[in-house]
A and B are shown apart, each in its own frame.
Chain A
């Protein structure tokens, strides 16, 4: 099977990828073809949120997305938000609240939160933000420290 190259802007840089099979998942393209290991593989079935990335600014589960389906879009992974103002805010909130234990779920939580904050700014309450993070699982923290980080990013936070 011959393929056109897959074009995506990865964290702001235009990339053209050859020989991407139609059946390849975005998660695998990101980790193994682009070598960006910040995006994690957890359940590979849409239940844990560890693989969350932004596609054209919109949070997306890369494990359930065929790479060819995002041809021509702009992809942001956790590596790409380190210098982003919203990304920095989220990282600082996680650090201040001690919201990281083993760290495996963290990139997914960060990307889901960055997506939500970009969608509606600081207008959401803690309760709304937590409800909208329902797709992200953490097996270490018991969520309390993550909830404290989320509170720092909510409308109630000074």
Chain B
């Protein structure tokens, strides 16, 4: 590994100032390190600094009425263990459980997952259907960006060189589900993954797909097919599944699975995810 130096600022101001002292390619931001570590091994001599967020006061989880705010460096395992998550955001809970094993989730973070923007991320599809907002902090102050706008492409986000992810906000609990298909169930990357959530305030379904390049993405045309039906019946799900299969943006990509297989899977998994989310809803909106 290259001899970079590790910096562990104790305040946000110090962290942002530190980012401004080095050129963009010379610094990497470290949250849990479960994904960044691969890059640290391969990094050339241009990587001079690794900025660790571990001393910043961002390992937080707050419920404020319906709004859930998760600090960017809270370990995923802590989020998973909060009883409110499985109850109020079941899809988020399922997506977290799909990330690595327990020891990995003791270090992996929501902020790291967003900042690294892996096309294979298990969390991004669910963040999309929950309309999560990403709170950023930089030299000019704070700003918030919806996840859909935050993600630009594989490993690319709107995060400026001198900005950090402070927290992620979820505006309301939603009946939701996350489902994936893999070669091996544990510790594998999904060939395709889907998320579905019903917004009670807007009475609308949101659908997203992940595990495919270039990035996790919403499927608005498939969403349209579900209209405002809280518990879609099989005849209502079929056009949604067909639309999702057509709309899936994976032309030509054969990594991990063929295009044909993925087009088939996306419809099957989305139908199951919508049914699972609707089942949560019928258990009583909580």
A59 touches B102 (CB 8 A): yes
B50, B103, B186: which contacts A60 (Cβ < 8 A)?
A: B103
**B161-194 near A? 1/0 per residue, CB < 8 Å:** 0000000000000000000000001110000000
Interface pick from A8-16, A31-39, A45-53, A85-93 = A45-53
A46 touches B3 (CB 8 A): no
Residue on B nearest A70 in the bound complex, by CB = B54
Separation of A60 and B40 alpha carbons in the complex (Å):
18
> Does any Cβ of B come within 8 Å of A97's Cβ?
no
A66 touches B101 (CB 8 A): no
Q: A22-B50, A61-B103 are in contact. Are A135 and B186 (CB under 8 A)?
A: yes
Contacts of B3 in A (CB 8 A): 1, 21-23
Contacts of B204 in A (CB 8 A): none
A112 touches B1 (CB 8 A): no
CB distance from A134 to the nearest CB of B (A): 3
Interface pick from B31-39, B59-67, B232-240 = B31-39
Separation of A45 and B100 alpha carbons in the complex (Å):
11
A1, A65, A135: which contacts B5 (Cβ < 8 A)?
A: A1
> Does any Cβ of A come within 8 Å of B144's Cβ?
no
B186 touches A61 (CB 8 A): no
Separation of A60 and B33 alpha carbons in the complex (Å):
12
Separation of A137 and B2 alpha carbons in the complex (Å):
29
Q: A132-B102, A135-B102, A137-B187 are in contact. Are A60 and B6 (CB under 8 A)?
A: no
Residue on A nearest B36 in the bound complex, by CB = A64
Separation of A66 and B3 alpha carbons in the complex (Å):
12
> Does any Cβ of A come within 8 Å of B58's Cβ?
no
Separation of A112 and B101 alpha carbons in the complex (Å):
10
CB distance from A76 to the nearest CB of B (A): 13
A46 touches B34 (CB 8 A): yes
> Does any Cβ of B come within 8 Å of A58's Cβ?
yes
B6 touches A68 (CB 8 A): yes
> Does any Cβ of B come within 8 Å of A136's Cβ?
yes
Main secondary structure on B side of the interface with A: loop
Separation of A148 and B98 alpha carbons in the complex (Å):
24
A116 touches B50 (CB 8 A): no
> Does any Cβ of A come within 8 Å of B104's Cβ?
yes
> Does any Cβ of A come within 8 Å of B107's Cβ?
yes
Residue on B nearest A135 in the bound complex, by CB = B101
Contacts of A64 in B (CB 8 A): 33-34, 37, 104, 107
> Does any Cβ of A come within 8 Å of B52's Cβ?
yes
> Does any Cβ of A come within 8 Å of B150's Cβ?
no
Q: A22-B3, A46-B37, A69-B54 are in contact. Are A116 and B104 (CB under 8 A)?
A: no
> Does any Cβ of A come within 8 Å of B106's Cβ?
yes
CB distance from B135 to the nearest CB of A (A): 24
Separation of A45 and B50 alpha carbons in the complex (Å):
19
Contacts of B30 in A (CB 8 A): 66, 69
Contacts of A63 in B (CB 8 A): 37
Separation of A72 and B52 alpha carbons in the complex (Å):
15
A112 touches B102 (CB 8 A): yes
CB distance from A91 to the nearest CB of B (A): 19
B2 touches A112 (CB 8 A): no
Q: A1-B3, A22-B4 are in contact. Are A134 and B33 (CB under 8 A)?
A: no
> Does any Cβ of B come within 8 Å of A107's Cβ?
no
Separation of A97 and B4 alpha carbons in the complex (Å):
46
Contacts of B5 in A (CB 8 A): 1, 22
Residue contacts A-B, CB under 8 angstroms, 16 given: A21-B3, A22-B3, A22-B5, A22-B50, A23-B1, A23-B2, A24-B1, A46-B100, A46-B104, A48-B187, A61-B34, A65-B33, A66-B30, A69-B6, A116-B102, A133-B101
Q: A22-B50, A59-B102, A131-B97 given; name 4 further pairs at CB < 8 Å.
A: A22-B3, A23-B6, A64-B37, A66-B52
